[in-house]
């Protein structure tokens, strides 16, 4: 079995586990009541080795890289998963990229003994290190839960030099935040005052800038893949509804106007998926790779929002009810779109990189 066959098989198995154990009915319970799904899906992810797919083989990982992660991000988005997989993989990627392969934190993240959180905006202006060695930062929104132990953060030293940090946040205060996407958990973390030791510093100077670029591209591809997966689910659910809902004695999917709208949805999905494939294949190669990652994120998130809105319309009255899960996709799509500074910021970044003026 070659790498691509292995990657396809892994993605298929992840999708099967999610479909069989975390159905849309379970997701609806999670969004209405909250909490029950988190611990169970984390346990299954650890048992099945999902967390180590891109980690070095020396740590028991698969060593498959971003090419294996993107299809899994798609599956998680398709099934509206609450698993904080993106943050975990960014933390693993950061430690591997900085040659921390012998670090105990990496092994713990791969095994699921520790969980990592990442601030949605990977900016050097989000935090600073004071002269006393303590972190100076406002409260930071992160996708995490009460069990996360590491925070990946970018900031500046007291002299202004860029620095990449991985902080121990077990003692940091955090509070839940209510927001419109109920398929994920957002908390405000208060890392200010945490000690920044030598072990916390992953990279500084140009190395920190290079790591920020790499992880920014990784995050963009992850959000693009989550959105493409969500588009697949929305389209499949809509086509199924058009086949079964009858009007005037025939399935509404037989009406030409609705056929055309469904075909347009499929076309939009394929353009986003194609751009994602190209961006994934080019990951980490040059400035154009970063531009492609930004464009893939902008395009996929835009299509996810469009298709979710169109799906609600094509479902008719039931599409506007809480019982119809399409609204969950629309809310997830809007959040994906807003992350990384929003689509306009992604497009501007890509344009600057393509004309040789890196932002």
Fold classified for 115-204: Butyryl-CoA Dehydrogenase, subunit A; domain 2 (2.40.110)
Q: Are 166 and 94 in contact (CB under 8 A)?
A: yes
CA distance 353 to 359: 7
Indicate the pLDDT class of residue 254, thresholds 50, 70 and 90: low
Determine which of 135-149, 165-179, 180-194 has the lowest per-residue pLDDT on average.
135-149
At which residue do the structure tokens 């950061």 appear?
Answer: 94
Q: Are 87 and 116 in contact (CB under 8 A)?
A: yes
Confidence at residue 205, expressed as pLDDT on a 0 to 100 scale? 95
Indicate the pLDDT class of residue 182, thresholds 50, 70 and 90: confident
Smallest Cα–Cα separation from 67: which of 160, 3, 139? 3
Rounded to whole angstroms, the maximal C-alpha distance in the chain is 76
In this predicted structure, the answer to whether residue 122 has a pLDDT above a threshold of 80 is yes
Confidence at residue 70, expressed as pLDDT on a 0 to 100 scale? 97
308 burial via Cβ count (<10 Å: 0-12, 13-18, 19+):
buried
Question: Pairing relation of β-strands 116-118 and 150-156?
Answer: parallel
CA distance 296 to 226: 11
In angstroms, the Cα distances linking 197 to 58, 167, 168, 200, 280 are 27, 9, 10, 5, 35
DSSP collapsed to 3 states, the chain: CCHHHHHHHHHHHHHHHHHHHCCHHHHHHHHHCCCHHHHHHHHHHHHCCHHHCCCCHHHCCCCCCHHHHHHHHHHHHHCCCCCCHHHHHHHHHHHHHCCCCCCHHHHHHHHCCCCEEECCCCCHHHCEECCCCEEECCCEEECCCCCCCEEEEEEECCCCCEEEEEEECCCCEEEECCCCCCCCCCEEEECCCCECCHHHEEEECHHHHHHHHHHHHHHHHHHHHHHHHHHHHHHHHHHHHHHHCEECCEEHHHCHHHHHHHHHHHHHHHHHHHHHHHHHHCCCCCHHHHHHHHHHHHHHHHHHHHHHHHHHHHCHHHHHCCCCCHHHHHHHHHHHHHHHHCHHHHHHHHHHHHCCCCC
Which tokens sit at 28? 């609806």
Summarize pLDDT for 292-304 with one digit per residue, the tens: 999 999 999 999 9
Smallest Cα–Cα separation from 102: which of 209, 211, 199, 206? 199
Confidence at residue 33, expressed as pLDDT on a 0 to 100 scale? 52
Which residues, 6 or more positions from 35, have their beta carbon under 8 angstroms from its beta carbon? Answer: none
Fold classified for 1-113: Butyryl-Coa Dehydrogenase, subunit A; domain 1 (1.10.540)
Confidence at residue 359, expressed as pLDDT on a 0 to 100 scale? 44
Confidence at residue 253, expressed as pLDDT on a 0 to 100 scale? 63
In this predicted structure, the answer to whether residue 357 has a pLDDT above a threshold of 60 is no
Sign of CA dihedral 231, 233, 236, 240: negative
In angstroms, the Cα distances linking 357 to 113, 215, 350 are 42, 20, 10
Domain boundaries, the chain: 1-113, 115-204, 208-354
Confidence at residue 202, expressed as pLDDT on a 0 to 100 scale? 94
CA distance 307 to 234: 7
357 versus 192: the higher-pLDDT residue is 192
CA distance 174 to 167: 14
The domain covering 208-354 belongs, at the CATH homologous superfamily level, to Butyryl-CoA Dehydrogenase, subunit A, domain 3 (1.20.140.10)
Sign of CA dihedral 259, 262, 267, 273: negative
């Amino acid at each position: 079995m070659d790498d691509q066959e292995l990657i396809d098989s892994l993605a298929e198995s992840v999708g099967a586990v999610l479909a069989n154990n975390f159905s849309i009915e379970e997701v609806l319970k999670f969004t209405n009541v909250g909490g029950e799904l988190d611990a169970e899906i984390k346990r299954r992810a650890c048992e099945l080795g999902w967390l180590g797919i891109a980690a070095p083989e020396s740590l028991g990982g698969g060593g498959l890289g971003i090419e294996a992660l993107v299809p899994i991000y798609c599956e998680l988005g398709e099934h509206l998963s609450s698993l904080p997989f993106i943050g975990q993989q960014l933390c693993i990627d950061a430690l591997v990229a900085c040659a921390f392969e012998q670090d105990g934190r990496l092994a713990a993240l791969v095994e699921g003994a520790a969980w990592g959180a990442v601030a949605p905006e990977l900016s050097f202006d989000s935090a600073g290190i004071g002269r006393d060695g303590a972190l100076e930062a406002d409260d930071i929104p992160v996708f995490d839960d009460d069990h996360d132990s590491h925070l990946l953060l970018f900031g500046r030293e007291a002299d202004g030099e860029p620095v990449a940090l991985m902080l121990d946040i077990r003692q940091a205060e955090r509070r839940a935040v209510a927001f419109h996407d109920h398929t994920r958990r957002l908390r405000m973390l208060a890392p200010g005052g945490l000690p920044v030791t030598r072990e916390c510093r992953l990279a500084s100077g140009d190395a920190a800038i290079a790591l920020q670029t790499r992880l920014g591209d990784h995050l963009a591809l992850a959000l693009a893949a989550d959105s493409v997966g969500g588009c697949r689910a929305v389209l499949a659910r809509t086509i199924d509804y058009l086949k079964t809902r009858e009007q005037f004695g025939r399935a509404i999917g037989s009406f030409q106007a609705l056929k055309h709208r469904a075909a347009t949805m499929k076309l939009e999905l394929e353009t986003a998926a194609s751009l994602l494939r190209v961006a994934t294949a080019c990951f980490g190669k040059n400035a154009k790779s970063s531009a492609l990652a930004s464009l893939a994120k902008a395009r996929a998130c835009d299509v996810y929002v469009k298709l979710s809105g169109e799906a609600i319309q094509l479902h008719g009255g039931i599409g506007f009810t809480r019982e119809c899960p399409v609204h969950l996709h629309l809310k997830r799509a809007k959040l994906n779109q807003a992350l990384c500074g929003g689509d306009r910021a992604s497009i501007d970044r890509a344009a600057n990189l393509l004309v040789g003026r890196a932002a």
